[in-house]
């Protein structure tokens, strides 16, 4: 876990194929976004968008995938996945057919991403 407040937590997923993949997970057990108040929806999405912004700034992906599926886990959470043309599935979905061997994770860049994300979250959502 990178950060948490009263509304949600931001978790960095340990996946060498998708460096910087984060989940923004609502703390309260709620099944759908529309079950939240407008203020809660807005606040949660501001955090999702900040994660995306820092991913774009530090990791410089070719695309960001945002997903909130929840079929197996009916709990509000967002997947924020930086995608690179060199990742093993691009341009298919992360669960799609493998297109190539993926690139190796840049640990230094991942460390910089984690620190910048934590700093931004603490500054904007303290």
Q: How do residues 26-55 score in pLDDT, each as one tens digit? A: 999 999 999 999 999 999 999 999 999 999
Mean predicted lDDT score pLDDT of the chain: 95
Domain 3-121 is of which CATH architecture? 2-Layer Sandwich (3.30)
> Under 8 Å CB-to-CB from 17, ≥6 apart: which residues?
87, 88, 89, 94, 102
> Under 8 Å CB-to-CB from 105, ≥6 apart: which residues?
16, 19
This prediction has a pTM of 0.95
Residue 50: closest CA among 31, 36, 32, 64: 64
């Amino acid at each position: 876990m990178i950060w948490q407040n009263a509304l949600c937590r931001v978790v960095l997923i340990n996946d060498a194929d998708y460096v910087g993949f984060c989940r923004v997970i609502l703390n309260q057990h709620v099944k759908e976004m529309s079950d939240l108040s407008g203020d809660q929806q807005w606040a949660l999405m501001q955090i999702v968008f900040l994660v995306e912004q820092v991913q774009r700034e530090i990791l410089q992906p070719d695309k960001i995938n945002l997903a909130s599926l929840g079929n197996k886990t009916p709990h509000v959470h967002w997947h924020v996945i930086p995608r690179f043309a060199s990742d093993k599935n691009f341009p298919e979905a992360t669960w799609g057919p493998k297109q190539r061997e993926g690139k190796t994770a840049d640990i230094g860049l991942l460390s910089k991403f984690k620190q910048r994300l934590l700093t931004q979250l603490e500054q904007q959502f303290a």
